[in-house]
Amino acid sequence: MLRYYLKLGLLSIRRTPILSTLMVAAIGTGIGACVTIMNIEWAMGANPIPHRSELLFAVQLDSWDPYEAWEEPNEPPPQVTYRDGTALLAAERARRQVLSYKTWRVLQPADEAQRPFQVISRSASADFFPMFDVPFLYGGGWDQSADRNEERVVVIDRETNETLFGGENSVNRTVIMNGRPYRITGVLDDWQPMPKFYDLNNRSFDEAEQVFFPFSVSIADELSSSGNTNCWKMPDGTGWEAFRNSECVWMQFWVELHGAGERQEYLAFLDAYVEEQKQLGRFPRPLNNRLSNVGEWLEWNGVVADDVRVLLGLAVLFLVVCLLNTIGLILAKVLRRRGDISLRRALGASRLAIFSQYIVETAVIGLAGGLLGIGLSWFGLQGIRALLGGAPMTNYLTEIDWTVSGFGIALAVVSALAASLYPIWRACGIQPAAQLKSL
């Protein structure tokens, strides 16, 4: 009977083209608005490293101002000081740990005809690559001895390799960075974790860095951060040494831990470390250390902006208004077809048969509305992209997601069915004899 009901549904849609078009338009507009905002929220809340997100933990130590929390009511700062970062790194109490920060560098192509260009780079300890499962096109990262020995080694991304070496395997070749030679140990394959979970300072949807080199080298070269640096009190003195020993936070520290036991142990270690530092007159606030896995970290940083959630709420309300209109339209359609229903009832259709017929017809209309909604959301996302410019972040956030689209179509069908329940219930109540004389 499903095919029969499908045929009847299509015939009915053809028989009432204006009402049917209005219904599809009402559902499509509501779904379009919802799917547009859902796409953005979905992209913002996406898990950038799903297979490891439960193993990676951002470390927060509350080394902040005793009189004013980093963020009320009692949130610790999102970054660590140089002193704490290097101490935790040296302690090696986790399976892996990485200390890193963002900084700018200037690359000099081997071909002197080419002009030097600025690259965004990351100074990181060796575990950065295996911990964050960074894919390599050629070679690999460096080891901990390179960190210890301040070796001038570098990993470049695919695009930089294209620019400098035409895409060839450049491992062991030399690149000049800020006038100093660095040996290339690896070339990254495409890698753009979105959101950029390992450093959510500045913008959460920035592109990954183009160049990576050892943390120890950047410290030796006295390279400051090009990300956020926050201090609750001035350094004791001037110069690089004073800055390194200050209470300013400017580095991101991550650890890899497997299971609740390791997490608990590491948190105990952090508390012990802070208690020890308190003896030295640091950490004036009460113990308030945190370990956040990737999902918790994105949530803590409010990666999905509140205004997007408000917009989503408004879009859902708009969908509800569209569905209320749809209820009226379906009711009008059903009442126009009283004669047909009455006749079918006389010829042997049960209430269930009439219910099934109109449910299938409504599902077809919901499906059409869903497809229209996906089309409208595509235009909506393109409009947002055009409005905000073609930055990588905008492109990422406005990319249509087929999971969300599939959900949108399912939502359209379910919404249409929900909207049709009252009208169809009315239709099922039409008596077989009600309209036969007046037909």
Partner 1 sequence: MQNISKIYRTESVETHALREFSLTVDEGDFISVTGPSGSGKTTFLNLAGLLEESSGGAYELDGRDVSSLHDRERSRLRNEKIGFIFQSFNLIPELDIFDNVDVPLRYRGFGRAERKARIDKVIDIVGLGSRRHHLPSQLSGGQQQRVAIARALAGEPRMLLADEPTGNLDSEMAESVMQLLEAINADGTTIVMVTHEPNLAARAHRNISVRDGRIDNGAPEAALSVATGG
Tell the smallest beta-carbon distance from residue 6 to partner 1 (Å). Answer: 13
Give whichever of 260 and 439 is closer to partner 1, judged by the CB atom. Answer: 439
Q: Does 350 bind partner 1 (CB under 8 A)?
A: yes
State which of positions 394-433 bind partner 1 (CB under 8 A): 431-433
Between residues 152 and 345, which has the closer beta carbon with respect to partner 1? 345
Instruction: Give 334 or 393: the residue with its C-beta nearer to partner 1.
Output: 334
Classify residue 95 by its DSSP letter. S
Q: Binding partner 1 by CB under 8 A: which of 346, 359, 371, 418?
A: 346
State which H helix or E strand residue 272 sits in: helix 259-279
Please identify which residue in 18, 113, 347, 387 interacts with partner 1, judged by CB under 8 A. Answer: 347
CA dihedral of residues 222, 228, 231, 234 (deg, nearest 10)? 40
Residue whose CB is less far from partner 1, 245 or 356: 356
Token duo for residue 426: 């009315």
Residue 371 beta carbon to partner 1: minimum distance, rounded to whole angstroms? 24
CA distance 19 to 104: 61
Scan residues 313-342 and list those touching partner 1 (CB under 8 A). Answer: 339-340
Q: Which of 141, 345, 398, 412 binds partner 1 (CB under 8 A)?
A: 345
Taking CB under 8 A as the binding criterion, the range among 7-15, 25-33, 108-116, 308-316 that sits at the site for partner 1 is: 7-15
Cβ closer to partner 1: 62 or 340? 340
Binding mask 74-103 for partner 1 (x = CB under 8 A): ------------------------------
Omega before residue 17 within 30° of 0, cis: no
Instruction: Please state the closest distance from residue 328 (CB atom) to partner 1, in A.
Output: 24
**In the set 87, 120, 343, 400, which binds partner 1 (CB under 8 A)?**
343
Return d(Cα 116, Cα 105) in angstroms, integer: 10
Nearer CB in complex with partner 1: 51/437: 437
233-236, long-range: CB < 8 A, 24+ apart: 233/65
For partner 1, the closer of residues 163 and 356 by Cβ is: 356
* Residue closer to partner 1, measured from CB, 16 or 229: 16
Q: Over the range 174-189, which residues count as b (16 or more CB within 10 Å of their CB) and which as e? A: ebebeeeebebbbbbe
Among 73, 352, 387, 389, binds partner 1 (CB under 8 A): 352
Distance CA 128, CA 140 (A): 11
The secondary structure of residue 287, as a DSSP letter, is P
- State the nearest-atom distance from the C-beta of 364 to partner 1, in Å: 15
Nearest Cα to 180, choosing from 147, 159, 145, 154? 154
7, 112, 11, 70: which is closest to 288 by C-alpha?
A: 70
**Out of 353, 391, 418, 421, the residue judged to bind partner 1 by CB under 8 A:** 353
Show the tokens assigned to 16: 């009432």
Among 244, 282, 351, 385, binds partner 1 (CB under 8 A): 351
What is the C-alpha to C-alpha distance for residues 191 and 166, in angstroms, rounded to an integer? 19
| Window 12-31: residues binding partner 1 (CB under 8 A) | 14-15
State the amino acid at position 135 in one-letter form: P
Residue 206 DSSP symbol:
P
Name the CA radius of gyration of the chain, rounded. 30
Q: Residue 214: in which H helix or E strand, if any?
A: strand 211-214
List contacts with partner 1 (CB under 8 A): 1, 4, 11, 14-15, 339-340, 343-353, 431-433, 436-437, 439
